[in-house]
């Protein structure tokens, strides 16, 4: 009885363990050598299985890579959510800064995978990281942003997709620049300033503080009219004075 109940489980577990071994090996080889440089034979060797066995788990090298990439993006999403959850402070801009810091260092660290995600999209139209995985990742930003709007920390008329494009686009472009200056021996651009400038830009363009400027202008106007009023009173008084 025990064998009947347990064996199918352990058998399934065995297959799953093997599948995980393949994925782990594949991930390592892809990271080390890139997609074209990776050899299926090496992946098989590292996973301690025959080369042909891989093909009973995955259709092709591209599909294997795809699975690795999807696993990678899912991992990123979880980590990003964890960063948000563990954030000590509650303000929108502080959290945005934490997210920016996390995203920037991740993008620099895993530039290969991120490039490959979009490179594969074109080459093999059938095999590409599903839109949903990417959308799920950027949803972390979207949620943060909407919450900021709900709490009145951000302008109500701010456009979400625009903010998202600026956020991720700028960070990824900066990451590339940092990478490029890293492998030469010129003075390195640091990550800190990139994030700081970015947050400062968000503060100046998206903060509800823009309303504050409006408020300033209102105060100016009221002051001005008060002055006019006072001036009139002064005139009245002056006329009543004996020459």
What is the footprint of DNA within residues 3-42 (CB under 7 A)?
A: 3-4, 7-8, 11, 15, 18, 38-41
Rounded Cα distance between 69 and 117, Å, is 7
Cβ atoms of 43 and 50 within 8 Å: the answer is no
> Which of 18, 55, 20 minimizes the C-alpha distance to 40?
55
| Count of residues interacting with DNA (CB under 7 A) | 22
Q: What is the DSSP letter of 175?
A: H
- Among 169, 211, 214, 232, the residue binding its own copies under the rule CB under 8 A is 169
**Contact track, DNA, 35-64, x by CB under 7 A:** ---xxxx-------xxxxx-xxx--xxx--
Do 114 and 176 touch, CB atoms closer than 8 A? no
Distance CA 92, CA 147 (A): 8
Burial of 156 (0-12, 13-18, 19+ CB in 10 A): exposed
Cβ proximity to its own copies: between 17 and 121 the closer is 121
Q: Which residues bind its own copies (CB under 8 A)?
A: 34-37, 111-112, 115-116, 118-119, 122-123, 131, 134, 159, 161-162, 165-166, 168-174, 176-177, 180, 184, 189, 193-194, 197-198, 201, 204-205, 213, 216-217, 219-220, 223-224, 226-227, 230-231, 233-234, 237-238, 240-241
Q: Which residues bind DNA (CB under 7 A)?
A: 3-4, 7-8, 11, 15, 18, 38-41, 49-53, 55-57, 60-62
């Amino acid at each position: 009885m025990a064998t009947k109940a347990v064996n199918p489980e352990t058998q399934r577990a065995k297959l799953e363990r093997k599948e995980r071994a393949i994925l782990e090996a594949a991930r390592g080889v892809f990271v080390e050598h890139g997609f074209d440089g990776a050899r299926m034979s090496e992946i098989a060797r590292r996973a301690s299985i025959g080369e042909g066995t891989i093909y009973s788990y995955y259709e092709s090298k591209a599909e294997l890579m795809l699975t690795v990439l999807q696993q990678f993006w899912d991992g990123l999403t979880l980590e990003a959510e964890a960063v948000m959850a563990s954030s000590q402070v509650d303000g929108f801009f502080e959290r945005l800064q934490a997210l920016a810091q996390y995203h920037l260092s991740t993008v620099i660290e895993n530039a290969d995978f991120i490039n490959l995600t979009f490179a594969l999209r074109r080459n093999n139209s059938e095999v590409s990281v599903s839109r949903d995985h990417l959308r799920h990742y950027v949803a972390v930003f979207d949620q943060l942003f909407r919450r900021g709007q709900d709490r009145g920390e951000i302008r109500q008329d701010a456009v979400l997709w625009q903010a998202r494009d600026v956020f991720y686009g700028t960070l990824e472009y900066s990451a590339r620049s940092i990478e490029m200056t890293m492998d030469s021996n010129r003075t390195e651009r640091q990550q800190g300033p990139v994030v700081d400038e970015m947050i400062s830009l968000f503060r100046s363009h998206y903060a509800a503080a823009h309303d504050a400027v409006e408020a300033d202008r209102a105060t100016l106007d009221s002051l001005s009219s008060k002055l006019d009023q006072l001036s009139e009173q002064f005139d009245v008084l002056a006329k009543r004075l004996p020459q």
